[in-house]
Amino acid sequence: MNDQISFTIKKKNSQYFVCHSGLNGSIIKTHLDTPYPGLSEDVATLLCEDLNSLPLSSIEKGNLNTSLVYCVLSTLIAGGADYRFEIDLPFCIQWDRAYRLNPGHPNHQVEYKAISKIVDFHQGKWVDLPLNYCQSLEEMRERNALEVPLEITDDLQTLLIRNNSVENFTVDLLFNLFHRISISAPILWVAGIIDHMELLKICLILFDEKDSDNFSEDEMNYMKKMNLRLENLRKLIQISKEKDQII
């Protein structure tokens, strides 16, 4: 926790409000610049802890969405009952690098090692297709480009249909946060099949096309910070599964 700006919780009428202790105790705002509503005690406590663990530089810039817990709650607050899961899995999976590994040596071996849990999940149905440079499904079909088989999409769809709104938005959030490089990785992370570090390594290796799984000091520091963000996000998911409604 930093000493200059921190976040506290105020209770009013059985609800808990997360406030800026350094800004006259004002209630934090959503990404739409509206005050956060009252939360349950466990959700407010988790959000407050996550915000207090943010780098001071993020807080000074008002960049609270560095907290993934904040992002999920803020979006669900804004969307309310109108929130809809917008990922088009059959489309997105055609560019998923977990099924289109870099063919060059040694990248292929490093990438295959990184996605080993994804390969195991599909129980023999996993495929390694050529990299896809088409811009649409129509272009893929015009060029007779190989598509990721429907049975692989079905494996992942069975996990998505079990998700609640927090889990579905988390898939969407992580997919975009990690450069849309793999839709399967966030789906399997939400399902608890891959852990925090496995998710981070998949995204770093596939996006940066690293030819080694030896990470630089900057990359290790990034993963350490993101590990905490993901751990708190995992706690939010668990709370949401224990409650009928989190907002």
Residue 230 lies in a domain: no
Instruction: Quote the pLDDT of residue 179.
Output: 94
Number of Cα atoms under 13 Å in the Cβ half of residue 85: 19
For the chain, the average pLDDT equals 91
- 131 shares a domain with 76: no
Reference 152, options 181, 182, 184, 129; nearest CA is: 184
Q: What b/e sequence results for 22-36 when a residue is b if at least 16 CB atoms lie within 10 Å of its CB, and e otherwise?
A: beeeeebebeeeeeb
Does 144 share its domain with 164? yes
Domain boundary among 36, 64, 82: 82
**Do residues 75 and 96 share a domain?**
no
Q: Tell me if 121 is assigned to some domain.
A: yes
Quick one: tokens of 91?
């489309």
Asked if residue 209 and residue 191 are part of one domain, the reply reads yes
Q: Which whole number is the average pLDDT over 63-76?
A: 92
* pLDDT class of 225 with cuts at 50, 70, 90: very high
Is residue 78 located within the same domain as residue 96?
Answer: no
Contact assessment for residue 237 and residue 170, using Cβ atoms and an 8 Å cutoff: yes
Is residue 39 in some structural domain?
yes
Both tokens assigned to 232: 């708190």
Do 36 and 151 have their domain in common?
no
Q: Is the pLDDT of residue 135 over 50?
A: yes
Of 229, 192, 195, nearest to 64 by C-alpha is: 229
Looking at residue 12, its amino acid is K
User: pTM here?
Assistant: 0.92
Highest mean pLDDT among 52-56, 86-90, 234-238: 234-238
What angle separates helix 217-242 from helix 68-79, to the nearest 10 degrees? Answer: 40
- pLDDT confidence of 78, banded at 50, 70, 90? confident
Give the pLDDT score at 11.
Answer: 94
- Give the structural domain span for 41: 7-82
Which of 53-57, 88-92, 100-104, 180-184 shows the lowest per-residue confidence on average (mean pLDDT)? 53-57
The pLDDT tens digits of the residues spanning 146-197 come to 999 999 999 999 999 999 989 999 999 999 999 999 999 999 999 999 999 9
Do residues 40 and 108 both lie within one domain? no
- Tell me, yes or no, whether 180 lies in a domain: yes
- Looking at residues 13-37, what average pLDDT do you find? 88
Contact between residue 86 and residue 92 where contact means Cβ atoms under 8 Å apart: no
Domain boundary pick from 82, 117, 147: 82
Residue 2 has pLDDT above 50, yes or no: no
What local confidence, expressed as pLDDT, does residue 81 receive? 61
Q: Is residue 176, in this structure, part of any structural domain at all?
A: yes
Q: Are residues 214 and 98 in the same domain?
A: yes
Tell me what the mean pLDDT of segment 221-230 comes to.
Answer: 94
Q: How many domains does one find in the chain? A: 2
**Which whole number is the average pLDDT over 85-97?**
93
- Among 42, 65, 82, which residue terminates a domain? 82
Do 211 and 96 share a structural domain? yes
The helix, strand and coil proportions of the chain, stated in percent and rounded to the nearest 5, come to 55, 5, 40
55 in a structural domain: yes
Q: Are residues 147 and 180 in the same domain?
A: yes
Same domain for 61 and 176: no
Question: In this prediction, what percent of the chain has a pLDDT beyond 90?
Answer: 76
Q: Is residue 224 situated within a structural domain?
A: no
122 and 200 part of one domain: yes
Answer yes or no: is 231 within a domain. no
